[in-house]
A and B are shown apart, each in its own frame.
Chain A
Amino acid sequence: MASHDALRIRGLSKTFARPAVAGLDLTIGAGEFYGLLGPNGAGKTTTLRMVVGLLKPDAGSIEIFGVDALADPIAAKRMIAWVPDEPLLYDKLTPIEYLSFIAGLWGMDATLAERRAQELLEQLDLWAHRNERCEGFSRGMKQKAALAGGLLHEPKLLILDEPLTGLDAAIAREVKDILYDHARRGCTVILTTHLLDVAERLVDRIGIIQSGQLLAQGTLNELRLKSGRRDSTLEDVFLHLVAKSEPRAA
């Protein structure tokens, strides 16, 4: 069986009042931990929402592990999990009910789903709270429950939009460990974040997007070379590349 890239985007465009994504080309290999960075309004979230099927692109193509996500969205969605910054939860359901619901949506075997739900809730320190309604949870607990929902069906491509927003240091560390662990086990992870130090330590490759176009991508060292700043932090590299491209973007 031919091996496919986890995500292959060609000429992707979306315009609202102004172009949000403008002819974006992006390829992310299977098993990569990829960080999509960019200033506010750069088009990161719009791009990811098109990938997961929440927005219809004006033009372009999206392939997920060789499946045309626009022609066969159901097949593509089977392989994806989407975890945005606002947890996709139901306040009146308990975490175990929430996970059961997700298992039903993804058509998982009930016994497998039950075992996996227990593993994830234990791993995320939510097992003791499994029969409590989510309405009483802190933001961190909600985010962890949502992450458990994303990981339950063992997606091949996990997409996270600002997953660490509003989390305290301990919970953020737990989430990062879990993401890293999944990436090491072969799951492709794409995340957007404004926490550049997190991206610097966590991801394999970084893509910097501005005005809906890919400005630069590569490992941190490749980006350093491209920006001509050999010993800089990702923050320096990012700010330099974004500032350099601003006249062009304008």
Chain B
Amino acid sequence: MTAIGSLTLMLHQELRINWRMMTARASHKAALWSLVAFLVVWHLVALPVPFILSEMPPWPRLDMLAAMSGVGVFGLIMMLPFALLGTVRLVYSRGDMDLLLSSPLPPHAIIVARVLAIAFGLFAMAGLFILPAANMGAFGNPRALLAYVALLCITLTATALGVLIAQGLFALLGARRTRLVAQIVAAVMVVASLCLANLHNILSASAVEALTQRITNLAAHVPAVDSWVWWPARAALGEPLPFLVVTSLCLGLFLVTTYGLASRLIANAVAANGAAEKTVRMRSSSRALMGQRGPVAVTRRKEWLLIGRDPWLMTQIAQQLLLMVPTIFIIWKASSLAYAWLCVVMLTGQLAGSLAWLTVSTEEAPDLLATAPVRRRDLLLAKLQAALVPTVLLMGMPFVVAWSVDVWLGFTVTLCGLGCALTTALYHVCNPSHAKRSDLMQRGGSKSHSIIELVLVLAWVAPAALMIMFGWLGLPALAAAAPIAYLLARPRAGNAA
């Protein structure tokens, strides 16, 4: 098979697998119709775009170039963590690398196709939101269609940088640690870019004013309109020479990076497989479990050992919690510090939900537990405790701080936080679904699990907000929310404990 033929075959395979993973919980037809409906709605939302574009000046101004460059850089920063994680996943998570590398396909074609699939995924995800505006904008100014090329350049650049960073991590840290560190780096990037996007909401009025002043001062040193700094923005506006140079550079960076590093990525994939099988020797730890009396204690301890020994999972949970940081700042800025404490209630519920989902839905030996002479409710109690104890320990400090700020605030946050933790954990314990640990963030792809967990969290945040707002007069809301939360959390038919 020719190199192009191999590349086409692999790319087709990659896109088919990605599409099936995306639509795993829906039929092909339903997914396709949902996509079409989304695009139609988004095109309708973009109806005013041609009118906005028709009022724009014909020649680029400095402020327009600066704004376009800012948007481009921001898009690049947002895509970078996903490109990095995609590359790391390419090396680690897909079990078919041995099959592909033992096939007569050129190894470079396999890697290039997989990296291209990452770029295509980024293009599709961003394009879903951006390109309808470009399509509608084309009615006012056909140059709006250049957004397709601009987006392609940004995704290719982000993917190439993601591959470079991943390769750098492999070289620095080795195959065993790269996945964990990449997860942390990506989480920090996502949180940083969200904070950056919400800077005006996060900073105080005086800080925003000072920042604006600094930016205004910097404007004096900004290069002139004809500087090469603005070439990417000018390329996006369709100026021939910048367009040619910038698109060639982006494409060149992508090809050089992908082809240049293909051999190393293959070597990393082989090393990663070896690393997974490498022996991990522990200190003698039989006492850790032997010392525990009874099935509840021993099961609880087993869950803690398993969670503690999977640092990748810990970073996933930490990432979930870190994503809450910008929200805390936004609520703080928009209302008052008291309402920012609502995020502690949400965090407590999410943390307990994540841990409970892990202990129940990713149980590796369910048949062992089912054949043990232990009542099912004892096992579920152990799993509930395994989720709740670390949650309370981790969130204990924020609870104590809330009490020290104000007794009523402390009471509200602690009561609603613990209630939220209990019901989200109870929900997952009573309604298990078998899934892989790597599906933690998507709760195993179960939309109902994610939605019910969100509803449960809101069922406790709402009365907490009313209690902060109206004092003890908010207690009836809590009295109404608690039974609703319990009803949602209790076992469904067929999942009875």
Minimum CB distance partner of A54 in chain B: B370
Residues of chain A with a CB closer than 8 A to B291's CB: 110
Residues of B with Cβ closer than 8 Å to A?
A: 276-286, 288-295, 297-299, 302, 305-306, 309-310, 364-365, 367-375
Q: Say which size band chain A's interface belongs to.
A: 35 or more
- Rounded to whole Å, the gap between the CB of A102 and the closest CB of chain B is 8
A75→B368 CA distance, assembly (Å): 16
Asked whether A105 and B305 contact (CB < 8 A) given A96-B286, A97-B285, the answer is: no
Residues of chain A with a CB closer than 8 A to B276's CB: 135
Residues of chain B with a CB closer than 8 A to A90's CB: 302, 306, 364-365
Which of A80-88, A168-176, A217-225 sits within the interface? A80-88
- Considering only residues 187-210 of chain A, those with a C-beta below 8 Å from chain B are none
Residues of chain A with a CB closer than 8 A to B373's CB: 74-75, 77-78, 105-107
Docked-complex contact A132 and B282, CB < 8 angstroms:
yes
A93 interfacial by beta-carbon distance below 8 Å = yes
Docked-complex contact B306 and A97, CB < 8 angstroms:
no
Docked-complex contact B364 and A91, CB < 8 angstroms:
yes
Closest 3 CB pairs of A and B: A104-B298, A100-B289, A88-B368
Contact with A117, one of B286, B302, B368 (Cβ below 8 angstroms): B286
A44→B412 CA distance, assembly (Å): 56
A-B contacts, 27 listed (Cβ < 8 Å)? A52-B371, A53-B370, A74-B375, A80-B371, A90-B306, A90-B364, A90-B365, A91-B364, A93-B302, A94-B282, A97-B302, A97-B305, A99-B286, A100-B286, A100-B288, A100-B289, A103-B290, A104-B294, A105-B298, A105-B369, A106-B373, A130-B286, A131-B283, A133-B279, A133-B282, A136-B277, A136-B279
Q: Which of A53, A80, A89, A94 has the most CB of B within 10 A?
A: A94
Minimum CB distance partner of B283 in chain A: A131
A91→B288 CA distance, assembly (Å): 17
- Considering only residues 210-233 of chain A, those with a C-beta below 8 Å from chain B are none
Docked-complex contact B290 and A92, CB < 8 angstroms:
no
Docked-complex contact A96 and B305, CB < 8 angstroms:
no
- Rounded to whole Å, the gap between the CB of B496 and the closest CB of chain A is 12
A25 interfacial by beta-carbon distance below 8 Å = no
Q: Which of A84, A103, A104 has the most CB of B within 10 A?
A: A104
Residues of chain A with a CB closer than 8 A to B305's CB: 92-93, 97
Asked whether A105 and B299 contact (CB < 8 A) given A77-B373, A136-B279, the answer is: yes
Residues of chain B with a CB closer than 8 A to A110's CB: 290-291
Please give 13 more A-B residue pairs, beta carbons under 8 A apart, in addition to A103-B298, A107-B295.
A82-B371, A97-B285, A97-B288, A102-B372, A104-B292, A105-B298, A105-B299, A105-B369, A110-B291, A114-B290, A130-B286, A131-B281, A149-B368
Residues of chain B with a CB closer than 8 A to A93's CB: 302, 305-306
* 0/1 string, A56-94, CB within 8 A of B gives 1: 000000000000000000110110111010001111111
A106→B298 CA distance, assembly (Å): 10
Asked whether A77 and B368 contact (CB < 8 A) given A93-B302, A113-B290, the answer is: no
A133→B364 CA distance, assembly (Å): 14
- Rounded to whole Å, the gap between the CB of A129 and the closest CB of chain B is 8
A113→B280 CA distance, assembly (Å): 24
Docked-complex contact B309 and A92, CB < 8 angstroms:
yes
